[in-house]
Structure 1
């Protein structure tokens, strides 16, 4: 069972543009570099594929297509890994041999949990529990993903029409295809703490409304309402409650009309 890290980056001229010593990576690594040229560079256990396409989902899909590891870890170029991360991942897949996807935890550079409300209990994901997952928490069996033809939805994610929740939609599609997704409450990856919370703007709320329809169908309207109520204290200095709800429903109905 060999592990490979699939990392997304942008605007790099060569592999050495990244400070690899600080990342504590011991696995082979595939780097997808969205830049202004096409090419391939190999240095030791690092392969960099450069291309001129844009969008996080396109980057992840290209990584999946070119991956070779048995177990793949999704990564961004601003993360590093905790000592023993490979053994943690391997042990989890040994404990859950039927798991196709296992999500872990993120630790901040200050040594604290990245999210204050990580569940304590490990176990199988549901269509609700995946809503709190982040992309860099996700690992998967490459064969399971390839065999099901699973890809990230190109309409979602940074650089796409709808800029959020590409990773959640990926997990939802995996569950819908019958894949087993497991959560293990152990951190494997390190990321700087979030600075000032969510940057609420029209594009974000519109995109969330669309993503909720992609995830829940027409029930998305109820999720738009629940989100607008729950997050009011976070966005109230930018939008009124009704403006937030209106933007989300606009995104929901826009996506529904297109599909």
Structure 2
């Protein structure tokens, strides 16, 4: 993960979701390992936020490689925007290509729709601001939860609700492989999640966003025409199950 720098320069917090028989033990002054026995990506991120003690924290995964100079870019960004609670950076794939289309310059993020494609590995947070605002990940969303995607955008929407500044910064800090668990999700399962996700973010306008995503994926040949109706049906089911959660 750190081919260009000494990992001992950084405080590393590892949340290891495991069993009693497979605990992880590491003896390094700069590394803390927490073995936890609950599953769910959002749960592990919340545990990390609760137990972190740095000023600026970067979310990461074990398949990420940090770029040369990443720490300087992160410090540069937070020095430029000292009141930011979260700043998103760029990622690239294994071939050095931008992971997706990014803004060419610094940008303050003001709308929820601009959060939809921000990945956790692109995010760095001012821990004091996040903790003071009591912002956490929604544990109903994310890998290992009932709704297995969308936790980053929902977290960012919480920050917006709390009037916390969010910026994007045009510097690349990580290399991240394109292959992900999301690409393997069946259409019905994906749109079941999307129904819940868009209901959480956009309430009664959820179907507009579901249809917008369907149109985009049809254009990109990611779904077929005969999958549209099952996708809409699955989205309605996801919304219904999500609303049951909300009423509890």
Q: Same fold (TM over 0.5)?
A: yes
Q: Tell me the residue number matched to 2:195.
A: 209
Query: 3-state SS of the aligned residue for 1:43?
Result: coil
Q: How many residues align?
A: 238
Q: Residues 42 and 48 of structure 1 are in contact (CA less than 8 Å); yes or no, is this contact kept in structure 2?
A: no
Q: 1:33 to 1:195 in 2, by over 3 A?
A: closer
Query: 3-state SS of the aligned residue for 2:115?
Result: helix
Is the deviation greater in 163-172 or in 199-208? 199-208
Is the deviation greater in 20-29 or in 202-211? 20-29
The separation in 2 between residues aligned to 1:220 and 1:88, in whole angstroms, is 36
Q: Residues 152 and 170 of structure 1 are in contact (CA less than 8 Å); yes or no, is this contact kept in structure 2?
A: yes
Query: 3-state SS of the aligned residue for 1:234?
Result: coil
Cα deviation digits, residues 182-209 of structure 1 (max 9, x gap): 0002110111233798334122210111
Q: Residues 41 and 49 of structure 1 are in contact (CA less than 8 Å); yes or no, is this contact kept in structure 2?
A: no
Corresponding residue to 2:222 among 226, 234, 254: 234
Q: Tell me the residue number matched to 1:118.
A: 102
The separation in 1 between residues aligned to 2:4 and 2:241, in whole angstroms, is 41
Q: Residues 80 and 190 of structure 1 are in contact (CA less than 8 Å); yes or no, is this contact kept in structure 2?
A: yes
Q: Which runs of 5+ in 1 are unaligned?
A: 1-19
Q: Tell me the residue number matched to 1:253.
A: 240
The separation in 2 between residues aligned to 1:196 and 1:33, in whole angstroms, is 19
Q: Residues 23 and 80 of structure 1 are in contact (CA less than 8 Å); yes or no, is this contact kept in structure 2?
A: no
Q: 1:23 to 1:79 in 2, by over 3 A?
A: farther
How big is the alpha-carbon RMSD for the aligned residues of Structure 1 and Structure 2?
Answer: 2.0
The structure richer in strand per residue is 1
The Cα of 1:39 is off from its aligned counterpart by 7.2
Q: Which runs of 5+ in 2 are unaligned?
A: none
Q: Tell me the residue number matched to 1:128.
A: 113
Does residue 33 of the first structure (1) align with residue 16 of the second (2)? yes
Q: 1:236 to 1:75 in 2, by over 3 A?
A: same
The separation in 1 between residues aligned to 2:145 and 2:180, in whole angstroms, is 24
The two structures have a TM-score, normalised by structure 1, of 0.86
Q: 1:34 to 1:196 in 2, by over 3 A?
A: closer
Q: 1:157 to 1:23 in 2, by over 3 A?
A: farther
The separation in 2 between residues aligned to 1:196 and 1:179, in whole angstroms, is 30
Cα deviation digits, residues 7-54 of structure 1 (max 9, x gap): xxxxxxxxxxxxx66484442110111111367644131111111111
Query: 3-state SS of the aligned residue for 2:59?
Result: strand
What does 1:83-94 correspond to in 2, within 5 Å? Answer: 83-94=68-79
Corresponding residue to 2:29 among 44, 57, 74: 44
Q: 1:79 to 1:168 in 2, by over 3 A?
A: same
The structure richer in helix per residue is 2
The separation in 2 between residues aligned to 1:204 and 1:48, in whole angstroms, is 32
Q: 1:174 to 1:53 in 2, by over 3 A?
A: same
Q: Tell me the residue number matched to 2:88.
A: 103
Q: Tell me the residue number matched to 1:168.
A: 153
Q: Tell me the residue number matched to 2:207.
A: 221
